Structure 1
Amino acid sequence: MNTREPLELFAAVYEGDENAVLRLLRAGADPDSVDAERQTVLYLAAVSDAPGIVRLLLAAGADPDRLSAGADAPLCGAVCGGHTEVVRALLAAGAAPDLREEYGFRALTWAVQRGHLEVLRALLAAGADPDLPGPDGEPPLVAAARRGSPGCVRELLAHGARARLEALAEARRWLALDVEEELRAGLEAAYGPGYEYVVSRREDEPGTVTVEVALLRDGRPAAGNDRQTGHSAIVNLLETAPGTLDG
């Protein structure tokens, strides 16, 4: 294989050029190629939301569960970005839905923390365990309640998720908080006071508003966080769902 082929393959993925990727793979480029930082080409395609390229790499034999730089799973990278088509392609190729990447994160952990409902549905349909905790030991249902996504809570309950009492307490706690102020306080705790902020609101999920707070440096967004506001609906879901509130 030409020693330039891995570099050319990465360049083609960065450019989103499916034809070039196909040509290079047919010429013998390794679908499990890594760059100087040991990032895998499949991980790059996954986080770039390039489902066509992801499918080409997988069809050429790329390992869907190989950790990029020994730490990051392609599935988790796609889930973080809410790249549903990429997630489905990886799962169809045999990616383990409960694979644990460095620091204990799993795809489902990212899905509920980010409120990516369609991604969560795909993971659960592929057999992801609705009760496997995140790196801090927190159950997914509690994380979904904090996120403020009624849809994520509903999907987890439908798949038998436990920790309902803890999730109910978390949803009730957020009912008494100002979401914008909490997000701002979290950013200040991480980056220090004195920055300007931009606040935006959008509807990612029917019936809830997603509040996003972005920290500005030199007038440009440098960091941010967001949260949904469906905590009241979540309280109702948890209080009225079949079964007992036994955790």
Structure 2
Amino acid sequence: MSTVDQRLLDAARAGAAAEVTAALAAGARVEARDAELRSPLLLAALGGHVEAAEVLVAAGADVNAQDHRADSPWLVTGVTGSVAMLHVLLPAGPDLKLRNRFGGISVIPASERGHVAYVREVLRVTDTDADHVNDLGWTALLEAVILGDGGRAHQEIVELLLAAGATPDLADRDGVTPLAHAEQRGFAEIAELLRDAS
């Protein structure tokens, strides 16, 4: 790898927007990759470095470029829950059907992790499929119930997904519905939301 490409990767990882600009001006490739095939934009997105990401998007960075783990800049916004990064990347045309290594789209890890603001915004400003099923056979709604803690954040996410048209009784591979999972876990508030939506 060229020294200038490494300079760009290091700057993106550190969130040093001015250094990103300088490295690009010195001839660094906007799609340079590190040993794990992470692009500068992916490194910026992982670190929540909004200004560095803005520079890279303006330079034409690929918002869908995936690394060896199938992460892309857009997909990792669902992991980090960064609404600011979502808005930086959205104009770059993310592929909303691009899948992560679990076969999921960004709203699924966001729902699992309780990123309420992100789930609200991605459902509001994109046509993300609220019923997307990942390789485990789980939707965002199922992940919010199965992997959530039943608390207020996950209750709000269930409300948001249902309001966005998520199918309340779309079961997992074993035929277990979100409601049945909620009841098994003693998540009374979520169970009530799901009953009301069915």
One of 235, 242, 245 as aligned partner of 2:191:
235
Residues 152-205 of structure 1: CA distance to partner in whole angstroms, max 9, x if unpaired? 101111111114371111111111xxxxxxxxxxxxxxxxxxxxxxxxxxxxxx
- 3-state SS of 1:104 partner: coil
How much is the aligned-residue C-alpha RMSD, in angstroms?
1.9
Q: 1:40 is aligned with what amino acid? A: S
Counterpart position of 1:144: 144
Where does structure 2 lack aligned partners over 5 or more consecutive residues? 171-176
Counterpart position of 1:89: 88
The structure in which a higher percent of residues are helix is 2
Q: 1:81 is aligned with what amino acid? A: T
Distance 1:145 1:56, change over 3 A: same
- What is the deviation of 1:70? 6.4
Counterpart position of 1:160: 165
- 3-state SS of 2:33 partner: coil
- Post-superposition, which runs of at least 4 consecutive aligned residues in structure 1 deviate over 3 A? none
Counterpart position of 1:51: 50
Counterpart position of 1:66: 65
- 3-state SS of 1:25 partner: helix
Q: 2:192 is aligned with what amino acid? A: N
Counterpart position of 1:127: 127
| 2-structure distance, mates of 1:239, 1:138 | 19
Counterpart position of 1:9: 8
Where does structure 1 lack aligned partners over 5 or more consecutive residues? 176-230
The structure in which a higher percent of residues are strand is 1
Q: 1:161 is aligned with what amino acid? A: A
Percent identical residues: 31
Residues 132 and 139 in structure 1, CA contact (< 8 A), matched pair in contact too:
yes
| 2-structure distance, mates of 1:36, 1:143 | 31
Per the normalisation by structure 2, the TM-score is: 0.86
Residues 102 and 134 in structure 2, CA contact (< 8 A), matched pair in contact too:
no
**Aligned counterparts, 1:12-31, within 5 A:** 12-31=11-30
Q: Which moved more, 1:66-75 or 1:38-47?
A: 66-75
